[in-house]
Amino acid sequence: MADLIAVADDPRDAPAAGRDAPGGPRLRAWLAARLGVQDGELRLTPLAASGDSNLMYEVWADDRAWILRIPPAIKNDASAHDVLREHRMLAALEATGVPHPAPVAACADPEILGRPFYVMEHVAGFSPSDPLPGPWASDPAALSALGPAAAEALAGVGEVPWRGIGLEGFGRPDGFLERQVPRWLAQLQRYRVRELEGLDEVARWLTQHRPPDREPGILHGDFHLRNVMFSAQPPARVVAIVDWEMATIGDPLLDLGTLLATWSEPGEPVFMIGAVTDVPGMATRAEIAAAYERRSGRPVEHVDFYMALALFKLVCILEGSYARLLAGDSEHESHRRYETVVPTMARRAHDIVRGAFTV
């Protein structure tokens, strides 16, 4: 277990290396009251400190654990990292069969931490990354089932009758696809630091080849394999879909596009740190798309559009993290990899729209 984080009365008083760490007595008292434990029992352990996502901490009391989610101090966009919105989505999913971490409590009071936050249950399982756990690394048949299992779970997300579970007004489904290109281009222009080869052509192609609108559904917004948790032991069973911070109501097939666009096969560029999709034995993109189509009944004939749109969106978002690093507004040296990863994503999207790459 990692060292316990130091806590301060105000998050701004925390040391520079841990300035996003949650702070002292007020937070502890809030957590203790809602988790039904004594203040002195609580231990908080950082899980992640990426500038691209909400921050996570394990909250321990004896052998029980929960997860604390807090937005980062700096955002690419004012609408990003809305943890109360994420909590609302998790609460709505309680009435469904979608595997997700159960929400416990949320706080909008700035006096507690200076930022909103929420707590959810700790889910037992693993997110596939390198190195794979022993039972999976040695079982090619088990590995081959991970991708299709993720696709089938994703299909279930898009089937949820969202209007009846408290998500009315959660998003703007009308004109969803039509808004995507101008929305992400506008964000990119606020911090654009270089030309990205082929991206303008991708934007034009997406505008000209937009599929017909279809019945809207819940959209996770960042559905890649690392955001899917599986049972610790084979066979493959999805126990939770996590990181709902970009969720909205829109075209569910964009989630499939994200899964496929980030699914590198052997010999292809790998976009995700710790990715295992190119490990021998893993399913192919074609097999994943087929599993989604079988489970959902939604035709996937426009999958190239959704893959290209997913990459276009990722390029626009991740370039913001790279721009912040160049400007000295980020301490996340891991973002330096975006110097090459983002242009590679842009080229892959360009290959898709010109017919040189597909599932």
15-34: per-residue pLDDT in tens? 333 333 465 889 999 999 99
Predicted confidence at residue 24, as pLDDT, reads 83
Contact present, 97 and 178 (Cβ < 8 Å): no
All structural domains of the chain: 11-121 (3.30.200.20), 134-353 (3.90.1200.10)
Give the tokens for residue 15. 């040391």
Is pLDDT at 214 greater than 80 in this prediction? Answer: yes
**pLDDT tens readout for residues 160-169:** 999 999 999 9
Report CA-CA distances (Å) from 171 to 29, 166, 167, 248, 322: 34, 12, 8, 5, 28
Q: If pLDDT is split at 50, 70 and 90, which confidence band does 145 have?
A: very high
**Per-chain mean pLDDT for the chain:** 90
Q: Which residue has the tokens 């507004």?
A: 329
**pLDDT tens readout for residues 330-353:** 878 889 999 999 999 999 999 999
Predicted confidence at residue 52, as pLDDT, reads 57
38: how many CB neighbours lie within 10 A of its CB? Answer: 11
Give the tokens for residue 166. 């408290």
**pLDDT tens readout for residues 89-132:** 999 999 999 999 999 999 999 999 989 999 999 999 999 999 99
Give the tokens for residue 136. 């999976």
Contact present, 154 and 310 (Cβ < 8 Å): no
Give the tokens for residue 105. 């409590």
Q: State CA 142 to chain mean position distance.
A: 24
Give the tokens for residue 310. 């997913």
Which is nearest to 67 in space by CA: 116, 110, 102, 21? 102
Report CA-CA distances (Å) from 316 to 42, 49, 159, 187, 205: 39, 21, 28, 7, 16
d(CA 276, CA 265): 9
- String of b and e for 220-248 (b: at least 16 CB within 10 Å)? bbbbbbbbbbbeeebebebbbbbbbbbbb
Q: If pLDDT is split at 50, 70 and 90, which confidence band does 13 have?
A: very low
Bridge partner residues of 64 (DSSP): 61
Give the tokens for residue 85. 């919105």
d(CA 244, CA 296): 21
- Mapped onto helix, strand or coil, the DSSP state of residue 68 is strand
Which is nearest to 157 in space by CA: 90, 214, 84? 90
Tell which wins on pLDDT, 37 or 14: 37
In this structure, the dihedral spanned by the alpha carbons of residues 241, 246, 248 and 252, taken in order and rounded to 10 degrees, is -60
Which is nearest to 96 in space by CA: 305, 277, 240, 223? 240
Q: Mean pLDDT check: name the lowest of 61-65, 223-227, 300-304.
A: 61-65
- Is the backbone peptide bond immediately before 15 cis, with ω within 30 degrees of 0? no
